[in-house]
Chain A
């Protein structure tokens, strides 16, 4: 009798727990952040996860519900990103996924977003396919794209730095997309593409490619890579004396890599960016100070973009008064906002690209760096419409709802 009573109580507790659990889950809004949290690119990816965490904590609650952040590492691998996205949407039941560097990985998550009918805000990948052939209504492209990079630094560079360009490209989806856009920008200014090298990711010795480049005698060396590949290629260019005869333009350049390699290597190189801590945006300084205090380094523009994307998503949930994906996305389409990242930012309904001013940045010489990790000088601004081009120019046919 007592044994049966005990069993009954245990089962009852189990049932009650099982009933209560999903109810509690619906009381929270879950944000998933997928980034590269291991390997040499983690120095960039960590900033994205930290920013998402900051945004979630700073926002507090939305519609009376707590906000929970779930982090996943895709190790810069599209296959892993696909699996993590599936897990986040299905098992963790996140309401939205943000970040994801690596263009092929972002495309994979975009497909998962369409399949699961939940939003994905892609802040960190550059491919214009996300707002082109592979666009869908659940994906919002935040922050930058390869066309913007090529237009901002490419057009200016072809006019002011030189007409003969040599490109060194990382041989994967993102590199190919960059090459397409940078050569198009060069052509617009009547420049000559004197040569290109496709280089495997994570190559340590760039000397043969630098020798190839030197043979072509370019005015500008364009490095279409990121992370350790950027450091190794730039170091080789410096050591072989190529930097003495030509200027260097990067696709992406981040403070952690500059700190790791030493700023003298990147001195007077040019790169485009969508944000720098010095921009005149409401809350940019406060965000930077808080981030530096908590994580010990200055935030790079990917981190700032993730903070903004997460924040604006939560604002959209507030506006739509629901986490229902269609309503939230509709609340973001055509929306203009001002925050620490974009002042203003506008989300184009035609292709879901979040556009804002773009900045032309020059890497400072070591003697010019006066504040901690303040490695860039803003030398120019490009208006949003010019940096991003006409809406829908990449052939986006919105599907989804």
Chain B
């Protein structure tokens, strides 16, 4: 039993976990507040990666510029989608918005295919983050440490925002009881638009950060879409803390599977989800189940 090696693998599992956390934060916030199942979330992640490619490679700007700009750009796209398409279907049963976001996903993917071509784009680690760092127990790629750090900051940031700021309180109020919040003078539709934009921005940011480590191609969002939904369900729809915890657990679970039982590594996620749902049907800290 090589504990040293297992520890390295588990440390590395934090990367996968971080991507899941970033992706599921955006999804759970939209899910919990708007009740919208955003199937286009993976496509927004992919948009973040392509925007990063455009900024860094086509416009020749620094990677930091991409990290700051891409979430804003994807967030604005999200706001436009919500304002002009998704909000029109709020009064209808949930599966209408589900179908709409499903369609939006295909539209975005094909649009990117037409504009950029289907093979994908080369996107490598920026020079200032390239190379490895000796952490004592392992020599680890600098960029991946960067991923863990950024995700950590972001997770704390979102938690503070939702939990401790006035705007966050408004969002939580809108989630719990949108009619009362509306009656108290809060502009609920503007809040919803903002939340959707935030979710899109988080997905876009995940895309920027993940792009150097992966194949940037129009369908890259599909690799994570299903697992992201699983993370959100396990963590509890609408729960920030739940997403963070569940994202990290899932990342580690997949890694453990790869070490000990490789063919089952992705199946373990679903077994875990089943077990969690039997014990806690709303996930860890879910507040409102989807179909209630």
A residues with CB within 8 A of B? 39-40, 42-43, 46, 171, 197-200, 202-205, 207-209, 211-212, 215, 228, 231-232, 235-236, 239-241, 256-257, 259-262, 264-265
Contact = CB atoms under 8 A, between A and B. Distances in A.
Interface stretch (B8-16, B93-101, B194-202, B274-282): B8-16
Nearest to B265: A200
A171 B219 CA distance: 20
B119 A205 contact: no
| Secondary structure class of chain A's binding surface, majority of residues | helix
Contact of B219 (A40, A198, A211): A40
B223 A202 contact: yes
Interface residues of B, number: 41
Contacts of B143: 239
18 contacts: A40-B219, A197-B258, A198-B262, A204-B220, A205-B16, A205-B214, A207-B16, A208-B13, A215-B5, A228-B220, A232-B215, A235-B213, A235-B214, A241-B132, A257-B119, A260-B217, A261-B120, A265-B122
Of listed A197, A198, A211, A212, residue having the most chain B CB within 10 A: A211
Contacts of B141: 239-241
A228 B15 contact: no
Interface in B208-260: 210, 213-217, 219-220, 222-224, 254-255, 258-259
A200 B143 CA distance: 25
Nearest to A236: B213
B22 to A, nearest CB: 13
A228 B215 contact: yes
B122 A205 contact: no
Q: Which of B121, B122, B259 has the most CB of A within 10 A?
A: B122
Contact of A232 (B121, B132, B214, B255): B214
Nearest to B218: A40
Given A43-B119, A198-B262, A257-B119, A207 B12 contact: yes
B136 interface: no
Contacts of B65: none
B144 interface: yes
B125 to A, nearest CB: 7
Contacts, number: 97
Contacts of A265: 122, 124
Nearest to B210: A204
A393 to B, nearest CB: 30
Contacts of B9: 208, 211-212
A262 B262 CA distance: 30
Contacts of B214: 204-205, 232, 235
B198 to A, nearest CB: 24
A53 to B, nearest CB: 18
Given A40-B219, A202-B223, A208-B259, A262 B266 contact: no
A261 B122 CA distance: 4
A252 B16 CA distance: 27
Contacts of A235: 213-215
Given A235-B213, A235-B214, A200 B266 contact: yes
Contacts of B13: 208
B139 interface: yes
A260 B121 contact: yes
B185 interface: no
Contacts of B255: 208
A40 B217 contact: yes
Nearest to B142: A239
A43 B9 CA distance: 33
B263 A171 contact: yes
B53 to A, nearest CB: 11
Nearest to A241: B132
A208 B12 contact: yes
Given A228-B217, A241-B141, A260-B215, 5 more contacts: A204-B214, A236-B213, A241-B139, A260-B122, A260-B217
